[in-house]
Structure 1
C-alpha cells in the first residue's frame, strides 16, 4: 500500500505465461507418463526442506500446511527443474487434464510462490517463462537421511547459555551498551519508497494473502464515511464456470455505473479484502461493521435460453430489501440496464456518463480485465489485454490497465514510461478524470523509482485537473501519493497537510483501507518527526483496520513499527506483547523480506526484555536467512542488534567486527539510520577495548557526518560520542559541556530513548568521578521510566549505592532484579552500600 514505511513490503505480480495465437504444438509435452510417485528423495532449497514421498514441506523445521494441488505444483516443477514446464503439461500433471481454466493454474502458482516466500516480482524460486509456462530456478540439494538418528541425549545441538546470576561479573558500561541501539531509529523503518495504490484510481498494484483471523480478533472502530455510501458485493452467478469472472467483474461494473451517477460507492478493493479475510457467508455483516454503508447492493446473474437476467438487490441499514431486474443479450448489457433502474430508485446526484459502445473498448472485456485484477490474476489480465483487437488495445482505458499489470509484476520503469506516453495523448479537455487517473498512477510509479520531486510535480497536475470534479477516491489517493513524495524530500509539514486532505477525501469516498493507509503514513511521519506517542496511536489504528481486512503486509508493517515506537518510549513489555501477537503472521506473508522484518522486531523486543539467549537465536537465524545483496538494510540492522548483545556480554571485538562494515560501506542516503547506529556502536566497541585513539578518530568522522544531516537523533548521538571520548581522555570539563548539549537537545525533542541514552552515560560518568550531587538530577530525568525499563532502574541502583542510601538502594535493586532476566547486575552494586561523606555531612547507612 501507499505507505511511507512500506520499504520492506514486496510488490507482487505474475508475469505473462502464454501468448495469444501460440501454436499448442510448440508447447512442451511430458516425456513420460505424468506421475509424482516416482519421486522419493528429500530436497533442500533456501531454508526449506521438502519430503516428496511424505508430501511434507518445512520452512526451517516448521511444517507448512498446503493443499494437495499446491504441493503437487511445487513437486512437479522440482522434479523437472532441469527444464521449463509448459502450462498444459503442468495442468495435466496436477489436475489430470490440460483444459483446466488458466485462472485456476494462475491462482495455484500464486499460492505456491507465497508458500515459498517467492513472488512474481522476485522470482527467486519459480520463474515465469513468458508465453510458455514456468521453471524452477532455486538451487536444490539432496538431503542425506541417516539410517537411524541418534537419540536426543546424544545430539550435538548447542545449549543456550544459562541466565547470568545477579552476582556475576558484568562489563562496567553494560547499561550504556545495551541502551544505545534500543531506538532503531524510525528513519530506518520509514524513509522509503512506497506507493501501494500505484495504478489506476480503481485498483491496487498488488494484494496480500489473507489468512484466517486469529481466534480473538480486535474489532476496529468504523471510520467516518459519507452518510449515503453504497457497497456493491460480489455477484452471485448462476451459469457455467466460464462465466465465473462475472462474480467480481459485475461487482466493479455496477459500482462504476453508480459512481458515474454521483453516488458514493466504496472501492471494490475493500470488499475483496474483507472477503479474503473471513467467511464469505458473513461478508455482508463484515462490510456493515467495517464501512457502515447506507446501502448494500447484491447483484445476481442468471443465464437463460434467451440471454441473461441480472437482479440488483438493495439492502438498507435495517436489512429491508428492494430489487430491480433487467434482461439483455449478454450479462454486462443486462447489468447496465439493471443499474439504470436502480438509479431510478435511489436517485442520481449527477448525470450519468453514458458512453456509446463504439467510444469505449468492449464493456465485457473491461469487466473481465477488472475481475482478473481484483482477483490478483495478472497473467489472466495480460492475456485478455493481448487478445483484444488492435483498435481496442490502443484505447487509453486498456493501456492504463496494461500499465497496472506491468506495475503489479514489478516493472515500474516500464509502467512509468507507458503512463508518460499515455499522459501526453490524453489532454485535460478530452477526459479530465481519466487524465487525472493516469497522472496519479504515474506519480506513484515515480515515487517507486525514487524520483520523488518529479512525482510531486506530476501529482500537482493530477489534482489541478480534479479541482472542479467530484472524485473523492481519486483525489484522496493523489493527496496520499503526493504526501509520500513530499515526505521523501523532507517536506514533513507539507506531507502532513496532504495526508490530512487525503483523510477527508477518502472518508467521503467510503474507502476504509485508504484511511488505514493514511494512518500508516501519518504514523511513520510522526516517528520521523520524533513524536513516537502519536506514531504509536496511528500504528495501532492502522493495525486494527488492516487486521479486519486481512492485509498482511500492512499488518506486519503496522505491528513492526509499534515495536519500534515502544522501544523509543521505553516500554519494553508492551513491545514484547506486540511482537508476540505478530508471530501469528509467520508463514502467511508474501515475501521473505516481510518475514525477516517481523523476526528482527521480535528479536529486538526479546533483547529489550533481557531474554538475550532467545534474541541471539532469532538473530542468528536471521543472519543466515537474509540475502545481504537484496536486503542490505535488514542485514545491517540485524548485525547492529547482534553487536548490541555482544557488547552487553563483554565481547567488544566481536561487536566491532559486526558494525564496522555497515559504518564504512553502506554510504547511500537510504542507509543513514542503520549507518549512524553502527557508527555509534563501533565507537563504543573501540572504547570497551581501550582503543581510545581509534575511537577518537572515528568519533570525529561521525560528528562531521552527522552535523549537516538535519537528523536530530544523529546529532544527539554524535555529541554523546564526543562527550564519551572526552571523558575517556579525562577532559572532564569538555565532556560535561558535550553531555549538557546532548541532553538539552534530547529534552527539546522529548523522546524518552534519546533522553535515557544521554542521561545514563552522563550520570554514570559523574558517579564514577564521585560527583554525586551533580549526578542526582541527571538520574532524576529518567526516574519515571525505572518501573519498566532495566537501564533506568539500574542507574538508580548505582546512584543510591554510591550515596549510601540503604533503603532506597534496596528498593531500586529489587526493581532492577525483577526486570533483569539475563542481564547481569554488577556484583559491587549487590553488596550493601557504606555510609558516604559529602562535604561535612555523612549520608546514608550501609546495612
Structure 2
C-alpha cells in the first residue's frame, strides 16, 4: 500500500455479480423458475389484487389507478406482482432480479430504475415507501394491505372488494401453487437451461476484462468522431463580440452531439489549441490527441441583413465541403448552418427546431461558457448573476452558475447551489435537469470528501439518465461513483463503473476525461496489489494531461508515479520523474498541489540518500503549509520528518513528531499516514527504553487498525499493526509469539503487498532472526529481497548483513560496496559494516 494514493479528483452501483457456487446456482434457478411459474399462473388465474386506489389484474396484465389504466413496462408490472405474491416476507435483491428478468447480469441501477417506475405507477415514492419498502443491503418488502378478489374471465374488477384476506390466507389460495398441467414445466425447464448457460458465462468472469472494453471502444470511435474548431470571426471586432469565437463553437458542437454524432468536447479543443494557431501541425495534434477523423471549421461574418455563418468540413484536415446559412442573429445563423451539415449527413436523431427557442437565454449561456472555457470563471459568474430578472431564477441559469463555481474550485458554493436546485426540480417534471443537478452535487461532495453522500446521488442520476447515453454527464456519474467504490475497496463495483465511464466519455468525445479514467484504473490496479500494472496507466494519463495542459491533473498523476516507483523500490526512477516535471508546478495557483509535489520530491530525494536536500524541502514545506486548510499535507510532511529522525537515531525527536501525527484529530491525518507513523512512534519509544508506553501505543494501534480495516475493506492497516505487535513481542522477549506474528504478516506481504511493504516486514523479521541465530530461516527470507538489493538501500543492507552472519567474507565485501554506493548521506549500520 502506498503512503498516499487515491482516486482522481478531476471521477452506481455497478454490475454486481455474485461468485458462482452450487448453492448460489440452486437459489438462482429456484427464483427464476418461481418467477416464470408466477407469471404463467398469474395469466391463468381469476384473481385480482386491490390496494389503496389501485387494482392489478394479473390475468390481463392491467394495472388501474383511480379507475384509469396505468401504462408501465412489463418488468415493472412483474415486480409489483411478485412482491405482492410474496408479501408475507422480505424478497432479496437477487431473488427479485431472477424472478423478473430471469438472468443474472442485471445491475443495481437497472433494478432501481424498475422499482422506481413501479412505485410511480402505484403512487408510491422512494421517500415514503408506503407500498414497496426498501431493506438496505438486502432487497424489498411489500408494505401495504392487499385485498384479493375473484374475477370472472374478461371482467374488470369492481372498485369495492368482495372480501379481504390476511396475507397468509390469501397466499394459500393462489392458483399457481396447485398447478398440475405438465405443459407448464416445459418452458420453465428450457428457460432454466438457458439461465444456467448465461449464468455460467457471466459467473466465471470474476474480474473485469478491461482490455476487451478498450478494443470495443476503438471500434466504436473509428470513423465517427468530429472536432469543431473555434469560430473564425474575421473582421468582427469589439469586446461585445469576443464570446462568439468559443461560444458558438460550443453551440455547434452541442447541436451536432444532440443529433447523435460523436463530437469532441469543447473544453478538449480549447485545451489543445490554447497556445497554437490553426496551422496544419496544430490540426494534426488535435486529431492525434482526440482521435477525431473529421474537422469542422466555422466562420462568421456580418451582412447587410444580419449574419452569415459558414462551416467548412472534411476528413483528415482536408476541408472539402462547405455550407452557409443566413439569420438575423449570430446564434440562429450558427444553428441553421449546423442543420445544413446534418442534412448532408442525413442525421436527424434527436434534432429539434432550426433556431433557438429562447434566444436571450441561449446567448447568455454561450457567453458564460465561452468565458469558462478559457478559465475566466469570474467573468462567467458575473454574466450569469447579472442576467435579466426573467432568467435569473430559472433552473437552467442556476445549473449553469453552479457548474461555473464547481469548475472554478468553489466547492462549498457549488454544493449549496446544486442542493437548492435538486430541491426545486422533480424527476417527473424534468428528469434530465434533475440528473445534472444530482451529478453536480455529487461531484462537489466528492471534492469536499463527503464520500458517503456521493454514491446515492450518482445512482439516482443514472436511473434518470440513459446509462448508455453518449454524455459526459453519464461518464461523470459512473466515474465519481466508481471512485467512491474504490475508496471503500469495492473493487468489482469500481471496475464496472470505470468501464462504463470509459464508454460514455468515448462516445461523448472527451479524451481528457478518458485520461482520468486511466488514472483511476491505475489506482484500482494498486488496490488489487498489482503495483507494476498501475504504472503504465499513470504514465498514459500523465501524457494526456500534459498534452491538454491540465496541470492539476498532471500533478496528481506525477505524484502517483513517484509513489509507485518507490513502492517498486526504484528510487532512481522516482527521482527521474521529479526531474522531468522540473519547475513546472511551482507557479500553480493551487497551494495544495504545489505542496503535494514538494512532499513527493522530498521522498524521492530520501530514497536516493540525498538527506540534506530532503530536509531543506521538508522544512520549507512545513513552514509554508496553513495547518487550518492543509492539515493532511502537514501531517504527511511531519511523518517523513519523523522517519528521518528515527533513521538518524534522533529517537526523542522521532517519538515526539510521530506521536503528534498519530494523535491528530480525525480529518487531519489520512489513514495510511497514521498507520505508518504509528509504527515509527512505537519503534522510537522502544529505542528510548520506554517499553510500557510502546506497549500501550501498540495496543491502541492494533485496536484502531482493526476497525479501520473493516471500514475500508483493506487489511493493510491491520497487518502493519500486526507487524508492530511482533516487534513489541520481540522487545518483551515473547519470542514464540513474535515468530507467529512475523510469519503471519510476512505471508500476507508476499501475497498481497508491494515490494517496499514486503521489505519493511521482511527486514524487521530478518533482524530478529539474525539476533536469535536462526540463520537458516533468515537465509530463506533474505532470498525474497534479492531482486531489489541492486537498487534499494535497505535490501542491500539486509543482504550484506546476512553474508556477514554466514561468514562469507568475499560475498559480504562485494555486498558492502553496493550498500555504500546506494547509501548517499545515510549512515551504514555497524551490524552491516563491522569487520568480520
TM-score under structure 1 normalisation?
0.70
- Equivalent positions of 1:31-430 (< 5 A) are 225-238=221-234, 239-242=236-239, 243-276=241-274, 281=279, 282-317=281-316, 319-348=318-347, 350-354=349-353, 357-358=356-357, 361-428=360-427, 430=429
CA distance in 1, matches of 2:804, 2:410: 63
Distance 1:589 1:223, change over 3 A: farther
Partner of 1:530: 529
Report the number of matched residues.
Answer: 620
Distance 1:459 1:705 in 2: 31
**2:336·2:354 contact (CA, 8 Å) conserved in 1?**
no
| Distance change (3 Å), C-alpha of 1:630 and 1:423 | closer
In 1, the alpha carbon distance for the partners of 2:517 and 2:467 equals 24
Relative distance call for 1:280 and 1:458 in structure 2 (3 A) is same
Q: Kindly provide the CA deviation profile for residues 714-735 of structure 1, in whole angstroms up to 9, marking residues without a partner as x.
A: 2222111111112122222221
| Partner residue, 1:467 | 466
Query: 1:547, 1:356 → 2: CA distance?
Result: 38
Alpha-carbon contact 1:556-1:594 (below 8 Å) kept: yes
Residue equivalent to 1:826: 829
CA contact (8 A) 2:801 2:831 kept: no
Alignment CA distance shift 1:444-1:8 (3 Å)? closer
- Quote the Cα distance in structure 1 between the aligned partners of 2:218 and 2:327: 38
Contact 2:592 2:630 in 1 (8 A): yes
CA contact (8 A) 1:226 1:508 kept: no
C-alpha distance in 2, partners of 1:4/1:626? Answer: 21
Q: Answer yes or no: is the 8 Å Cα contact 1:570–1:789 preserved in 2.
A: yes
- Note the C-alpha offset of 1:781: 1.4
Partner of residue 739 from structure 1, selected from 742, 760, 777: 742
Find the counterpart in structure 2 of residue 681 from structure 1.
680
Q: 1:774-812: per-residue Cα shift (whole Å, max 9, x none)?
A: 211111111111111111111010010111112221221
8 A Cα contact 1:477 1:502, kept in partner: yes
What is the DSSP-based 3-state SS (H/G/I as helix, E as strand, rest coil) of the residue aligned with 2:609?
coil
CA contact (8 A) 1:277 1:550 kept: no
Is the CA contact 1:222–1:292 (under 8 Å) kept in the aligned structure 2? no
For 2:366 and 2:755, the matched residues in 1 are separated by 53
Question: Residue 759 of structure 2 contacts residue 795 of structure 2 at CA under 8 Å; is this kept in 1?
Answer: yes
Instruction: In structure 1, list runs of 5 or more residues that go unmatched.
Output: 10-220, 834-847
The answer as to whether partners of 2:679 and 2:724 remain within 8 angstroms in 1 is: yes
Determine whether 1:790 maps to 2:793. yes
Higher-RCO chain (CA-CA 8 Å, sequence separation at least 6): 1
| Other-structure match for 1:572 | 571
Q: Which residue matches 2:540? A: 541
CA apart distance, 1:769: 2.3
In structure 1, distance between residues paired with 2:276 and 2:796: 45
| C-alpha contact 2:256 2:342 (8 A) present in aligned 1 | yes
Shift in alpha-carbon separation, 1:307–1:5, aligned structure 2, 3 A: same
Residue aligning to 2:478: 479
Cα displacement (A) at 1:740 = 0.8
Q: Compute the displacement of 1:320 (Å).
A: 4.2
Q: CA RMSD in A?
A: 2.5
Larger radius of gyration: 2
Equivalent position of 2:554 in the other structure? 555
Partners of 1:718 and 1:424 in 2: CA distance:
45
SS in 2 for 1:744: helix
Change (3 A) 1:722 1:7: farther
- Structure 1: distance between partners of 2:676 and 2:528: 18
Return closer, same or farther for 1:526/1:321 CA change in 2, 3 Å cut-off: same
CA drift at 1:294: 1.7
Structure 1 residues 639 and 413 mapped into 2: Cα distance closer, same or farther (>3 Å)? closer
Contact 1:300 1:310 in 2 (8 A): yes
Output the CA distance in 2 between the equivalents of 1:357 and 1:505.
Answer: 27
Q: Is the 8 A contact 1:479 1:499 kept in 2?
A: yes
State the alpha-carbon separation in 2 of the partners of residues 657 and 569 from structure 1. Answer: 30
Give the deviation of 1:349 after TM superposition.
5.0
Tell me: CA distance 1:828–1:503, structure 2 relative to 1, closer, same or farther (3 Å).
closer
Which of 766, 771, 776 aligns to 2:774? It is 771
User: How far is 1:521 from its partner?
Assistant: 1.8
Deviation at 1:608, TM superposition (A): 0.6
Tell me if the contact between 1:223 and 1:512 (Cα under 8 Å) persists in the aligned partners.
no
Alpha-carbon deviations, 1:207-229, whole Å to 9, x = none?
xxxxxxxxxxxxxx999835311
In structure 2, distance between residues paired with 1:358 and 1:266:
25
Determine if contact 1:582/1:598 at 8 Å carries over to the other structure.
Answer: no
CA pair 638-350 structure 1, distance change in 2 beyond 3 A = same
Q: Secondary structure at the match of 1:297?
A: strand
* Deviation, structure 1 residue 364: 1.8
**Cα distance change of structure 1 residues 586 and 259 upon mapping to structure 2, 3 Å threshold:** closer
Q: 1:452: how far off? A: 3.0
- Aligned residue number for residue 705 of structure 1: 704
Deviates more, 1:422-431 or 1:398-407: 422-431
Structure 2, unpaired ranges of 5+: 12-216
Distance in 1 (alpha carbons) for counterparts of 2:10 and 2:407: 16
Output the CA distance in 1 between the equivalents of 2:287 and 2:296.
12
- Structure 2 matches for 1:571-610, cutoff 5 A? 571-610=570-609
Instruction: Report deviation, 1:697.
Output: 1.6
Distance in 1 (CA, whole Å) between partners of 2:802 and 2:642 is 28
Q: Contact 2:471–2:505 at 8 Å: present in 1 too?
A: yes
- Work out the CA distance in 1 between the residues paired with 2:370 and 2:271: 14
What residue number does 1:781 align with? 784
Do the aligned residues in 2 keep the contact of 1:310 with 1:338 (CA within 8 Å)?
A: yes
- For the pair 1:636 / 2:639, whether they are aligned, the reply is no
Bigger helix fraction: 2
Deviation at 1:632, TM superposition (A): 0.8
Q: Displacement, 1:488?
A: 3.7
If the length of structure 2 is used for normalisation, what is the TM-score?
Answer: 0.70
State the 1:764 CA deviation: 1.1
The Cα offsets for residues 437-479 of structure 1, whole Å up to 9 and x where unpaired, read as 2332222223234443432222222212222774333221221
> Does the Cα contact within 8 Å between 1:667 and 1:675 map onto a contact in 2?
no
Question: What SS does the corresponding residue of 1:302 show, helix, strand or coil?
Answer: strand
1:395 is displaced (CA, Å) by 3.0
Q: 3-state DSSP class of the match of 1:665? A: coil
Residues 734-770 of structure 1: per-residue CA shift (max 9 Å, x gap): 2111111110121221421221111111111111222
Contact 1:272 1:374 survives alignment (8 Å): yes
Q: Is the 8 A contact 1:222 1:290 kept in 2?
A: no
Q: Deviations over 1:593-645 (max 9, x none)?
A: 11111010010001011111111111111111111221111111111111111
Q: Distance in 1 between matches of 2:324 and 2:721?
A: 71
Q: Deviations over 1:536-591 (max 9, x none)?
A: 22211110110111110110100111111111111111111112212232333121
Structure 1 residue 818 displacement after superposition: 2.0
Instruction: Name the counterpart of 2:165.
Output: none
